[in-house]
């Protein structure tokens, strides 16, 4: 059994796929006697007969049927080994670290990263959620290779970035919230300050929590929560109003659990606030094929969450 070879498994699979020893010999450009010898050697070393040769064409025995998937798996793993080795010689990364701002749509990210897995199955991917400032520091320190984050207002030296699209932020509350009952949710934005706002920690840096007040509305009663899921649950329960990426609450709006408010004087004339999103990397951090592919795909992929 110790003398089993990859070649024997390849011959085994070829005979099954081609349906005969002769056809397998033609495909592998060998003499039929060499194919017959390889199968006989594999059977001797395995201690079982793989083919019933009593008919015109060889037929898999019960043992052959049971062992064939294992032989095919060995050959597939060998193919992956060769591919991975070839990719390494071309500079393919062993792992890739991606920072993602919490505003990004999870579903759009999942779709894009599924394509990444199909193209680079051997690359280990680490995705971490980071606020913009933290992501920039991580890029500069080479703690991450790429970062998906809101556009940087001023030019930041040392970063290469490319626009991906926009994320739409909306004001939302439960249907029975007092603000939702005001003229169908259309009211002066100044009224926001009279009601509790539910803000996520991901919206702003922790040290700025006491500075940011209701997105310019000077709200006094603010609840700060850990993530969008808890914020969404509190909004649905009627605990207050909040600003959230539209993609995070689309299902709740469709089901009537939340309504999008239209505070006049907040955002632009359509009462929406759009955040430009970029994919960025540190210019002094060389990237391999996987990172370049992902950078280009983020650039081409529209991450905009428009109505």
- Domain of residue 223, CATH code: 3.40.190.290
Listing DSSP states for 79-95 in one string gives HHHHHHHHHHHTT--SE
* 253 lies in the same domain as 289: no
pLDDT, residue 270, reads: 52
pLDDT, residue 304, reads: 43
Q: Is the pTM of this model over 0.85?
A: no
Confidence of residue 199 (pLDDT cuts 50, 70, 90): confident
Q: Is the pLDDT of residue 306 over 80?
A: no
* 161 lies in the same domain as 173: no
Q: Give the Cα separation of 30 and 51 in Å (integer).
A: 20
- Split into its structural domains, the chain has a count of 3
Select the highest-mean-pLDDT range: 168-177, 193-202, 264-273.
Answer: 168-177
Confidence of residue 217 (pLDDT cuts 50, 70, 90): low
* 282 lies in the same domain as 269: no
Any idea what the CATH number is for the domain that residue 30 is in? 1.10.10.10
Which residues, other chains included, contact 284 with Cβ-Cβ below 8 Å and sequence gap of 6+?
Answer: 158
* 69 lies in the same domain as 109: no
Higher per-residue pLDDT: 236 or 301: 236
pLDDT, residue 218, reads: 67
Tell me the percentage of the chain whose pLDDT exceeds 70.
84
Residue 34 phi, psi (nearest 5):
-70, -35
Domain residues for 32?
Answer: 6-89
Residue 266 phi, psi (nearest 5):
-110, 130
Domain-embedded: residue 307: no
Any idea what the CATH number is for the domain that residue 103 is in? 3.40.190.10
Average pLDDT over residues 7-36: 92
Task: Examine the fold and report which residue of 89, 114, 131 is the final residue of a domain before the chain moves on.
Answer: 89
How big, in percent rounded to 5, are the helix, strand and coil portions of the chain? Answer: 45, 20, 35
End-to-end CA distance of the chain: 64
Task: Examine the fold and report which residue of 48, 71, 89 is the final residue of a domain before the chain moves on.
Answer: 89
pLDDT, residue 210, reads: 45
Domain-embedded: residue 121: yes
Q: Is the pLDDT of residue 15 over 90?
A: yes
Domain-embedded: residue 102: yes
Instruction: Provide the mean pLDDT of the chain.
Output: 82
Q: Is the pLDDT of residue 127 over 50?
A: yes
Domain-embedded: residue 11: yes
pLDDT, residue 212, reads: 43
* 207 lies in the same domain as 268: yes
Q: Is the pLDDT of residue 192 over 90?
A: no
* 62 lies in the same domain as 35: yes
Confidence of residue 207 (pLDDT cuts 50, 70, 90): very low
* 124 lies in the same domain as 71: no
Task: Examine the fold and report which residue of 89, 122, 145 is the final residue of a domain before the chain moves on.
Answer: 89
Higher per-residue pLDDT: 125 or 189: 125
Q: Give the Cα separation of 154 and 136 in Å (integer).
A: 13
* 13 lies in the same domain as 131: no
* 135 lies in the same domain as 280: yes
pLDDT in tens, 78-93: 877 776 676 666 667 8
pLDDT in tens, 132-172: 778 888 888 888 999 988 876 445 677 888 888 788 888 89
Confidence of residue 68 (pLDDT cuts 50, 70, 90): very high
* 265 lies in the same domain as 293: no
Domain-embedded: residue 306: no
Domain-embedded: residue 70: yes
Tell me the percentage of the chain whose pLDDT exceeds 90.
34
Average pLDDT over residues 23-28: 92
* 149 lies in the same domain as 187: no
* 22 lies in the same domain as 82: yes
Domain-embedded: residue 1: no
């Amino acid at each position: 059994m110790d003398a089993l070879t990859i070649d024997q498994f390849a011959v085994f699979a070829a005979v099954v796929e081609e349906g005969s020893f002769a056809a397998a010999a033609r495909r592998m450009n060998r003499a039929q006697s060499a194919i017959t010898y390889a199968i006989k050697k594999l059977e001797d070393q395995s201690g079982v007969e793989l083919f019933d040769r009593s008919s015109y064409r060889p037929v898999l025995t019960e043992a052959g049927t049971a062992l064939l998937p294992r032989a095919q798996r060995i050959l597939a793993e060998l193919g992956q080994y060769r591919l991975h080795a070839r990719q390494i010689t071309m500079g393919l990364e062993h792992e890739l670290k991606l920072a993602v701002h919490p505003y990004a749509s999870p579903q759009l990210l999942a779709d894009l990263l599924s394509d990444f897995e199909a193209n680079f199955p051997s690359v280990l991917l680490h995705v971490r959620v980071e606020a913009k400032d933290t992501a920039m520091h991580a890029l500069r320190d080479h703690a991450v290779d790429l970062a998906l984050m809101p556009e940087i207002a001023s030019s930041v030296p040392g970063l290469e970035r490319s626009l991906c699209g926009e994320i739409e932020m909306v004001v939302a509350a439960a249907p029975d919230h007092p603000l939702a009952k005001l003229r169908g949710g259309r009211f002066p934005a100044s009224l926001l300050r009279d009601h509790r706002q539910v803000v996520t920690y991901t919206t702003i840096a922790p040290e700025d929590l006491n500075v940011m007040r209701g997105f310019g509305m000077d709200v006094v009663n603010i609840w700060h929560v850990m993530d969008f899921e808890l914020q969404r649950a509190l909004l649905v329960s009627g605990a207050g109003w909040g600003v959230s990426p539209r993609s995070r609450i689309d299902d709740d709006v469709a089901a009537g659990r939340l309504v999008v408010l239209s505070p006049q004087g907040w955002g632009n004339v359509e009462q929406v606030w759009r955040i430009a999103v970029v994919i960025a990397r540190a210019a002094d951090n060389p990237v391999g094929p996987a990172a370049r592919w992902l950078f280009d795909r983020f650039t081409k992929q529209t991450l905009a969450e428009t109505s």
